[in-house]
């Protein structure tokens, strides 16, 4: 668990993901692992074309398609190598002492899962090359990644700058308590102002848990600004964020169960879709 896996691609977020990964690697004093995944393209098979072209033409067209695929793969490999080389150069300029580069022919989630045993943190852009404009968390690589890995995920935003404060959405659940422990022990968020925000819910003893958490964070050296709110969870968190100049959002991951997702995970996904701040999901 000594590497910050940073997923770079050709999306509009690529530069910001790279800067976020460099910031995290330097803050944690860990190896920066730059990962570029080339996703497999689906190629039409012969039977898919049998009703559209004549038998005489099918063989030559399929050969052309194979050659086109080979050329596309070569270009993708070369473009990826260039991105990795530039990112590596930038990382060294920004003070990263140890930088590694990995290129994979696979889905990005599959590639990260294969490398997760080495990971301290995974850094990824809010959306990839094919979703720059209209991003939905449900069904995205981000949702799949959060559900499949057991490593904290850092979702980078556009125009990333090193944050000076973060908002922790604390709801009293076991995952939230674990997130607090990870914040105290982890190092990534040290020396930052902590906005501890809880929205009243059905958890028993929530207010006492909230007060205890605020005291624990303060005792660990954080400057804590705590707020216990009432109202709609998502709307309350978004309003607080907007009113308090928060630099980063931090949340515990949603549960893997479908029932928990319906009541809890939906707020996490909505936060991912709606915020333009960097966001850390802790496991």
Q: Would you state the structure tokens that stand for residue 37, as one six-digit string?
A: 């995944």
pLDDT at residue 252, rounded to an integer: 79
Average pLDDT value for residue range 11-23 = 88
* pLDDT in the model for residue 273: 78
With a cut of 60, say whether residue 84 has pLDDT above it: yes
Find which of 28-32, 76-80, 138-142, 252-256 is predicted with most confidence, using mean pLDDT. 28-32
Task: Return the CA Rg of the chain.
Answer: 22
Q: Pull the structure tokens for residue 126.
A: 């809010």
pTM score: 0.82
Pick the CATH number of 3-40+76-156 from 3.40.50.620, 3.60.130.10, 3.40.50.10680, 3.40.190.10: 3.40.50.620
What is the domain class of 165-277 according to CATH?
alpha beta
pLDDT for 175 equals 82
Q: What is the pLDDT of residue 132?
A: 47
Q: Please report the pLDDT score of residue 146 as a whole number.
A: 84
CATH 3.40.50.620 residue ranges in the chain?
3-40+76-156, 165-277
What mean pLDDT, rounded, does the chain reach?
83
- When mean pLDDT is compared across 55-69, 92-106, 173-187, 212-226, the lowest value belongs to 55-69
pLDDT at 128: 52
**Average pLDDT, integer, range 197-221:** 93
**Which region among 66-70, 90-94, 103-107, 223-227 has the lowest average model confidence (pLDDT)?**
66-70
Give the integer Cα–Cα distance in Å for 206 and 126: 31
């Amino acid at each position: 668990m000594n590497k910050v896996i940073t997923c770079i691609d050709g999306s509009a977020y690529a530069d910001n993901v790279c800067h976020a990964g460099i910031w995290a690697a330097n803050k944690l004093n860990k190896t920066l692992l730059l990962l570029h995944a080339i996703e497999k393209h689906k190629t039409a098979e012969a039977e898919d074309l049998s009703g559209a072209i004549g038998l005489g033409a099918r063989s030559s067209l399929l050969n052309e398609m194979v050659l086109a695929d080979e050329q596309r793969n070569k270009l993708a490999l070369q473009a990826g190598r260039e991105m990795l080389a530039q990112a590596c150069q930038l990382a060294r300029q920004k003070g990263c002492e140890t930088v590694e580069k990995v290129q994979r022919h696979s889905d990005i989630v599959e590639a990260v899962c294969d490398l997760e045993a080495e990971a301290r943190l995974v850094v990824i852009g809010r959306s990839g090359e094919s979703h720059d404009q209209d991003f939905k968390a449900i069904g995205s690589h981000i949702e799949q990644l959060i559900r499949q890995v057991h490593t904290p995920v850092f979702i980078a935003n556009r125009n990333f700058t090193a944050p000076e404060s973060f908002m922790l959405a604390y709801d009293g659940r076991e995952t939230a308590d674990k997130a607090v422990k990870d914040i105290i022990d982890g190092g990534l968020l040290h020396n930052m102002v902590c906005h501890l925000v809880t929205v009243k819910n059905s958890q028993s003893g929530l207010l006492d848990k909230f007060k205890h958490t605020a005291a624990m964070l303060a005792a660990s050296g954080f400057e804590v600004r705590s707020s216990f709110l009432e109202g709609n969870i998502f709307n309350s968190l978004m309003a607080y964020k907007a009113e308090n100049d928060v630099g980063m959002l931090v949340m515990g991951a949603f549960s893997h169960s479908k029932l928990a997702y319906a009541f809890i995970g939906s707020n996490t996904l909505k936060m991912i879709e709606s915020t333009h701040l960097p966001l850390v999901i802790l496991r």
